[in-house]
């Protein structure tokens, strides 16, 4: 019975990860809330690793849903011959260079200061403030942009200056938990004239190297610490990751359809309420 309940908890964590990783509402804020009321019966070291590694399931969802755009190669006939060779898709190289350039600031800071950032900023107060501040930013920016038409409607139209600016906003999310990686990058993109759909799509693409790298880094650190996983912990990690994948597929499809007809204000208001709730719980409990 105890095993059954732990698996149910892992499913809950996977559901929350799959929903909140892609909507700009902060997965960290939600994880803090869940951990207050539904705690996994695992070691602190494992839980720290678990929260990051289940993101890998969410990443697989992006790779599968956007495979045609993300996979940079195609087969084409060699000139004058019948055999086919592997070749770059048009624009694929440029897109991947932009993704890498945008990821560089967050990757450097993550590698050098990951533990220090967790020590200084991973707490309920910082997360609450980040939730509220970014929520207000969404409302203000969407109000300002309500009568403006976006000037950038595809990743191909993005300049490297645009990409670097978005990467710097992603850096803010890497430093301050609760900011929301997707929330920060979408806000940065909207501020410089990128359309909502393009901002969301580029944010998803940025997540592939960033979150995959973060998951790998956590696994390596966990392994180097010499902490062995129990059979139950392996099951919890597998179930949480698979659940995050399944839920992410549904949420990404919904989100891309939603933003074609709606703005991000609802997420701004939600963040403000969530931030106030997290702060209230921290003060009360």
**246-277 burial, b if ≥16 CB within 10 A, otherwise e?**
ebbbebbeebbebbeeebbbebbebbbebbee
Q: Please, which residues have CB within 8 angstroms of residue 180's CB and are 6 or more apart in sequence?
A: 24, 25, 26, 27, 28, 130, 131, 134, 173, 271
Q: What is the pLDDT of residue 79?
A: 66
**Segment holding 257, helix H or strand E:** helix 231-258
- The pLDDT value given to residue 84: 72
Report the pLDDT value the prediction gives residue 100, as an integer from 0 to 100: 93
**Residues 6+ away with beta carbon under 8 Å from 22:** 58, 182, 204, 248, 251, 252, 255
* Residue 133 pLDDT > 90: yes
Instruction: Dump pLDDT digits (tens) for 146-166.
Output: 888 999 999 999 999 999 999
| Residues contacting 169, CB < 8 A, separation 6+ | 184, 185, 187, 188, 189
Q: Would strands 84-88 and 73-77 be described as parallel, antiparallel, or unpaired?
A: antiparallel
- The chain-wide mean pLDDT, for the chain, equals 88
Residue 270 has pLDDT above 80, yes or no: yes
d(CA 31, CA 18): 12
Contact between 272 and 84 (Cβ < 8 Å) = no
pLDDT of 285 strictly over 80: no
Task: For residues 187 and 176, give the distance between their C-alpha atoms in angstroms, rounded to a whole number.
Answer: 15
CA-to-CA distance for 40 and 25, rounded, in angstroms? 23
Verdict on whether the full-model pTM lies above 0.85: yes
| Average pLDDT over every residue of 114-120 | 79
Q: Quick one: DSSP state of residue 87?
A: E
| Two tokens, residue 280 | 């209230």
- Supply the pLDDT for residue 52: 86
Between helix 92-121 and helix 196-224 the angle, nearest 10°, is 60
Tokens for 67, please give them.
């495979």
Using one digit for the tens of pLDDT, what is the confidence trace for 213-235?
Answer: 878 888 888 878 877 788 898 99
Residue 15 has pLDDT above 90, yes or no: yes
Domain boundaries, the chain: 2-75+82-284
Report d(CA 50, CA 234) in Å as an integer.
Answer: 10
Residue pair 273/85 in contact (Cβ under 8 Å)? The answer is no
Share above pLDDT 70 across residues of the chain, in percent, rounded to a whole number: 96
Dist CA 163 CA 99 (whole Å) = 8
The more confidently predicted of residues 62 and 73 is 62
Distance in angstroms (rounded) separating the CA atoms of residues 22 and 258: 13
Q: What is the pLDDT of residue 266?
A: 94
- 122: pLDDT strictly greater than 90: no
**What are the pLDDT digits (tens) for 171-208?**
888 888 888 889 999 999 999 999 999 999 999 999 99
Name the band, by pLDDT with cuts 50, 70 and 90, for residue 77.
low
Name the nearest CA neighbour of 267 among 186, 194, 202, 192: 186
- Is residue 139 scored above 90 in pLDDT? yes
CB 44 within 8 A of CB 199: no
pLDDT at 29 over 90: no
- Distance, CA of 255 to CA of 278 (rounded, Å): 24
């Amino acid at each position: 019975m105890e095993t059954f309940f732990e698996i149910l908890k892992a499913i809950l964590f996977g559901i929350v990860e799959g929903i909140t990783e892609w909507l700009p509402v902060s997965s960290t804020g939600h994880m803090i809330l869940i951990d207050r009321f539904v705690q996994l019966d695992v070691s602190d070291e494992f839980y720290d690793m678990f929260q990051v590694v289940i993101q890998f399931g969410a990443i697989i969802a992006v790779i599968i849903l956007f495979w045609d755009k993300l996979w940079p190669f195609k087969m084409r006939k060699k000139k004058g011959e019948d055999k086919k060779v592997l070749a770059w898709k048009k624009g694929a190289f440029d897109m991947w260079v932009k993704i890498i350039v945008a990821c560089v600031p967050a990757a450097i800071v993550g590698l050098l200061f990951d533990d220090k950032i967790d020590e200084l900023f991973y707490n309920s107060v910082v997360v609450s403030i980040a939730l509220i501040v970014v929520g207000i930013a969404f409302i203000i920016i969407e109000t300002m942009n309500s009568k403006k038409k976006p000037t950038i409607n595809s990743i191909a139209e993005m300049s490297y200056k645009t990409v670097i600016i978005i990467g710097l906003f992603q850096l803010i999310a890497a430093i301050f938990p609760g900011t929301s990686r997707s929330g920060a990058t979408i806000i940065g993109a909207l501020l410089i004239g990128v359309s909502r759909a393009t901002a969301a799509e580029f944010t998803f693409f940025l997540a592939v190297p960033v979150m995959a790298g973060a998951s790998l880094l956590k696994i390596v650190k966990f392994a180097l610490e010499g902490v062995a996983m129990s059979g139950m912990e392996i099951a919890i990690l597998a179930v949480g990751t698979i659940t995050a994948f399944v839920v992410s597929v549904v949420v990404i499809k919904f989100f891309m359809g939603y933003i074609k007809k709606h703005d991000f204000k609802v997420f701004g208001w939600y963040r403000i309420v969530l931030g106030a709730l997290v702060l209230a719980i921290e003060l009360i409990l």
